[in-house]
Amino acid sequence: MDEFIQQFATGLSTGSLYAIIALGLVLIYRSTGVVNFAQGEMAMFMTFIAWSIWNWNENFWFAFFAVVIISFVFGALIEMIAIRPVETGPVLNPIIVTIGLVLVIDSLALRIWQGQPKPFPSPSAIFGVNLFKGSPLSIGPADISRTNVGVFFMALLIMFLIYLFFNHTRVGLAMRGTAQNRVAGSLVGIRVGRMLALGWGLSAMVGAIAGMLLAPTLFLSPTMMAGALLFAFAAAVLGGLDSPVGAIVGGLTMGVVQNMAGTYIGSNIDITVAFLVIIAILLVRPRGLFGRKAIQRV
C-alpha cells in the first residue's frame, strides 16, 4: 500500500509537469482555435533567453519577470507576422505554420545556444518563503520533491488566473466571443486581430513560465520540451482542449496512469497503456473530460 501511495504521488508530480504545459495549449486553443505545435519550442526559446539574462544578472526573479514580458511580446508578434496571414485560409494552414515555427525556432536555438544541456537555476525565495526548495514534502508514506510541489501550485495559480480572466473580465469575454465566432465578434465591435494577438501573447507567457519552472528538472536544451510536449498534448485533449481545469486534471491523470502502468504492468509498455487508457476515456467522452460538446447548426 505504501508503495502504491508513493507511486501515486510520483505520478502526480510528473503529472503537474504535463499539466502546466497543457495549460498553455488550452489557453491558445480556447482563445484562437489553433492547436499550437510550437508551444514547446516557444517555451524552450524563452527559457534560453531567461538563462542568458540570468547569466548577466544573477537574480532569478528579475530574469523571470523580464522573460514573462518578453514572451508576451514574442507570442503576439508571432501571431501578427506568421499566423494572421493564414487565418482566413483553409483550417489546416495555421497548424502547418506552427510546424514551420517548430523547425525555425529549433534550429535558431541550436545555432545560438548549442545542443549541450545547461543547468538552470531553481526559483529563489521571495520574502524568505520558497516553495521550490527544501526537503521533500511528506504526505503519509509518500515523498514529493519540492520542485514538483512548486510546479503544482504554480499550475493551480495559473489555472485560477485564466479562469478569472476568461470569466470575469471584459477582455476575457471578448476573447471567448472571438474564439466562438469571429464575424459576430467583429460585428459587436471586438477588435478580433487584437484579441488573437493577445491570446498568442498570453499562451506564450504561460509557456515561458512552464519552461522556466521545468528547466531545473529537465535541463535546458533545445530538445527540452520535445518529450513532455507530446504528453501535454495528450493531457490537454484528455481534459478537454478548451478547459483549464481539464488541463490540470488531464495532466495529473496522465502522469498517474503512466507511472502506475510502469510500476504494475511493466516499464516496457507504460506509454502504450497510458495512451490506451486515454483513448478509452476519449471514446466515452469525445470532447475530453471537461470539454464542452460542440453543437453544430445545420
Partner 1 sequence: MVSAIVRPRTLFLAAALALLIVFPYLYKLPFFDLFLNNIRTFQATRFAIWLVVLLGLNLLTGYSGQISLGHAAFVTVGAYLGAIFMKDVGVPVFAAILAAALLTGLLGFLIGIPALRLSGPYLAIATLALIIVLPQVLKFDGVINGHHLAFMDIAERTGGVSGIQLAIPDKPHVPAIIANNFDMSRDQWLYYNCMAAAVIMTGIAWSITRSRMGRAFVALRDSEIGAQQMGVNVSLYKMSAFGLSSLYAGAGGALYFYEAAYVGPTSFDITLSLTLLVMIVLGGLASITGTIFAALIMTFKNEMTDYIVKYLPFGENIGIEQSRGALFGLLLILSIIFTPRGIAGNLHKQKEARPGGPRKNRLGALVARIGLTSREKEAEASSD
Cell of 200: 498568442
Give SS3 for 219: coil
Query: 99, 164, 171, 184: which one contacts partner 1 (CB under 8 A)?
Result: 99
Give SS3 for 144: strand
Measured from the CB atom, the residue of 49 and 241 that comes closer to partner 1 is 241
Q: Is 298 in the site for partner 1 (CB under 8 A)?
A: yes
- Positive or negative, the Cα torsion across 132, 134, 136, 139? negative
Neighbours of 296 (CB within 10 A): 5
Query: 111, 168, 170, 293: which one contacts partner 1 (CB under 8 A)?
Result: 111
**Mask for 228-267, x = binds partner 1 (CB under 8 A):** --x--xx--x---x----------------------xxx-
Give SS3 for 118: strand
Q: Is 108 in the site for partner 1 (CB under 8 A)?
A: yes
- 286 touches 271 (CB < 8 A): no
Query: How many residues bind partner 1, per CB under 8 A?
Result: 49
Q: Is 269 in the site for partner 1 (CB under 8 A)?
A: yes
Cα-based distances in Å from 104 to 44, 49, 93, 127? 13, 16, 17, 40
102: enclosing H helix or E strand: helix 92-113
Query: 168, 283, 293, 295: which one contacts partner 1 (CB under 8 A)?
Result: 283
Q: Is 139 in the site for partner 1 (CB under 8 A)?
A: no
- 67 touches 239 (CB < 8 A): no
Measured from the CB atom, the residue of 89 and 140 that comes closer to partner 1 is 89
In angstroms, rounded to a whole number, what is the distance separating the alpha carbons of residues 56 and 235? Answer: 36
Measured from the CB atom, the residue of 137 and 282 that comes closer to partner 1 is 282
- Positive or negative, the Cα torsion across 19, 83, 227, 211? negative
The CB-of-281 to partner 1 minimum distance in angstroms stands at 11
Q: Whose grid coordinates read 523547425? A: 103
Binding region for partner 1 (CB under 8 A) out of 43-51, 91-99, 126-134, 139-147: 91-99
In angstroms, rounded to a whole number, what is the distance separating the alpha carbons of residues 66 and 27? Answer: 21
Binding region for partner 1 (CB under 8 A) out of 59-67, 79-87, 153-161, 197-205: 79-87
Q: Is 272 in the site for partner 1 (CB under 8 A)?
A: yes
Query: 183, 187, 188, 295: which one contacts partner 1 (CB under 8 A)?
Result: 183
Single out the residue of 171, 170, 225 nearest to residue 22, CA to CA.
225
**Mask for 8-47, x = binds partner 1 (CB under 8 A):** ---------------------x-----x-x----------
- Positive or negative, the Cα torsion across 122, 126, 128, 130? negative
Chain contacts with partner 1 (rule: CB under 8 A): 29, 35, 37, 82, 85-86, 88-90, 92-93, 96-97, 99-104, 106-108, 110-111, 183, 230, 233-234, 237, 241, 264-266, 268-272, 275-276, 278-279, 282-283, 286-288, 296, 298
